[in-house]
Amino acid sequence: MKLTLRADNRKIFKTFTVGDYVMIQIYPKWFSWGTVEMLHARSAGPCKILNKLNCNTHVIYIFKDYDI
């Protein structure tokens, strides 16, 4: 119990607001074949936050070339 409390004290919680730009993580298995190559960068961005649903859920603008 004490170890988890000590670890939680060292965490840095980031909060984002509407209009901020963030980097997103890409998982190739989630995309259609040919969209993201295996050796493609694992992050994409900057992507703009369009709407904030709660403290860790956001709606972001993803570029059209990702075919989502």
Tell me the CA distances in angstroms from 41 to 30, 36, 44, one per residue in order.
14, 9, 7
pTM, to two decimals: 0.60
pLDDT for residue 20: 93
Tell me the β-bridge partners of 24.
Answer: 44
Consecutive sets of 10 residues in the chain, 68 residues long: mean pLDDT of each? 75 85 77 60 80 89 75
